[in-house]
Amino acid sequence: MKKIDGGICAVDGVLAWGLRKEKYGVTVISSPESNVSAVFPSNKVLAAPIIITKKAISNGRISAIVANSGNANCFTGEEGFQNGLKMAQMVSENLQIKLEDVAVASTGVIGRQLSMSIIKQLIDEALIMVENSRDASKKAAEAIMTTDTFSKEFVVQTKLNDGNIVKIGGIAKGSGMIAPNMGTMLCFLVTDVKASPKQLEVALKKAVDKSFNMVVVDGDESTNDMVLIMANGKSGEIDENFQEALEYVCIELAKMIAKDGEGATKFLEVDVNGALSIEDAKCAAKAIVGSSLVKTALFGADPNWGRIVAAVGYSGAMMDENSISITMESEGTGADIVKKGVVKAYAGTNELKIAEEIFSKKEIKITVDIGLGDYTATAYGCDLSYDYVKINSEYTT
């Protein structure tokens, strides 16, 4: 498996484009007659595009995606639903595909109607420009950004057991309103693997559980999340090599979302080892990256290990404070903070000095060994800064 260039258009048969006007953006992705699977949010308030796309993929096939940024088209009633259908209809008519073969996605402000005059103009222009090129993928990734500070793309290729080379590419957006069970994020994945909708469903769920469901920026769950994969079947048969590559792509995109958290200045990766179950490992890791107290300590370069222990304690995971160990590391430097329940980083110790230096870095890894079992999990997050409050206090104004 290796990372390659080209974005989603590195996959044969995929066309894309994206463009922006004022606060709105539109992305169109075409992968004709592809098998499909998707993961959606658990929020009881679901945006119109989520409802439309759930129906569109119910037969396991789509040919295109149209997505807009700048407006979530959520809590917008029948008018919002019809506007979502109009977006799909424009794409279906232009690409000469069935209306039900178009998935729709939106991201942005909740509770406001789409400015359809701008959206229609952007869709028309994007459909004229769609092509298979490196620039097309870049434009598509940029157009779905909201408070993101950089576009997110990743693509790999790997060799399957049948000897074929398969490619998997993805673009994503996400910066705030990010919590486990996904967040205000969109991710569109394309591949040339041969796989049934059911096989894609199984593969995608495994990948999402290890990646997007392990990211916490602020703990708020969205109404518009979507991770969707399209497989056009131009290469070999799905196998464990594909699964490994898909998980790798999703994890890398998830890390980009964590690094780009609204107002974030630091990236945090948390490994939890020695748990009694995978559920314990996951909930402990997510509790740490999701803790506002851990996040603010990270922002202030204060290696407050007590907050980490407390997060594990309330996470629901089985633990024994006499067995837990905590290490911190960054850029090849590490420090043992707690060793099997014994604190090593009291005031005046060399361990505390090193830990303070580690917490001043841009990327920090915390490893927690619960010391009770053999299960492990990794979660991703960021610090909580003054700018997070500023960005979200001015979001609709």
- Active-site choice (27, 158, 184, 378): 184
63 pLDDT above the threshold of 60: yes
CA 290, 292, 295, 301 torsion-angle sign: negative
Supply the pLDDT for residue 82.
98
Mean pLDDT of 220-248: 92
Supply the pLDDT for residue 393.
65
Supply the pLDDT for residue 224.
83
pLDDT band at 360 (very low <50, low <70, confident <90, very high): very high
- Active-site residue flag, 184: yes
Q: Find out whether 334 and 328 touch, Cβ atoms under 8 Å.
A: yes
Supply the pLDDT for residue 388.
66
Average pLDDT of every residue of the chain: 92
pLDDT tens digits along 177-186:
444 444 458 9
- Return the ∠ at Cα 32 (arms to 26 and 35), rounded to 5°: 105
Mean pLDDT of 150-160: 97
Closest CA to 342 of 319, 326, 318: 326
DSSP labels for 3-53? E-SSGGGGSTT-EEEEEEETTEEEEEEEEEEEEEEEE----SS--HHHHHH
Supply the pLDDT for residue 296.
92
Closest CA to 382 of 287, 286, 298, 271: 298
Question: CB 51: neighbour CB atoms within 10 A?
Answer: 15
Q: Is the pTM of this model over 0.85?
A: yes
396 pLDDT above the threshold of 70: no
- Tell me, what amino acid is at 42? S
DSSP labels for 112-180? S---HHHHHHHHHHHHHH-BSSHHHHHHHHHHT-SS-SS-EEEEEEEE-TTS-EEEEEEEEE--SSB-S
Supply the pLDDT for residue 106.
95
Give, to the nearest 10 degrees, the angle between helix 305-314 and helix 278-290: 130
Pairwise pLDDT comparison (180 vs 51), residue with the higher score: 51
pLDDT tens digits along 107-143:
988 899 999 999 999 999 999 999 999 999 999 999 9
Contacts with 198 (C-beta within 8 Å, 6 or more apart), sequence order: 60
Q: Find out whether 179 and 292 touch, Cβ atoms under 8 Å.
A: no
CA 392, 111, 24, 44 torsion-angle sign: positive
Determine what percent of the chain is predicted with pLDDT higher than 90. 81
Q: Find out whether 378 and 269 touch, Cβ atoms under 8 Å.
A: yes
Give the start-to-end residue ranges of the domains of the chain.
Answer: 2-257, 267-393
pLDDT band at 215 (very low <50, low <70, confident <90, very high): confident
Helix (H) or strand (E) holding 92, with range, is helix 77-95
Pairwise pLDDT comparison (220 vs 273), residue with the higher score: 273
Supply the pLDDT for residue 395.
52
Supply the pLDDT for residue 180.
40
Contacts with 365 (C-beta within 8 Å, 6 or more apart), sequence order: 268, 269, 270, 271, 328, 329, 330
The yes or no reply on domain 267-393 and CATH 3.10.20.340 is yes
Q: 2-257 and 267-393: same fold?
A: no
Mean pLDDT of 239-258: 96
Measured in Å, how far apart are the chain's first and last C-alpha atoms? Answer: 45
Supply the pLDDT for residue 183.
43
- Return the ∠ at Cα 256 (arms to 250 and 262), rounded to 5°: 130
Supply the pLDDT for residue 222.
65
Q: Identify the CATH number of the domain defined by range 2-257.
A: 3.60.70.12
pLDDT tens digits along 289-315:
999 999 999 999 999 999 999 999 999
DSSP 212: G
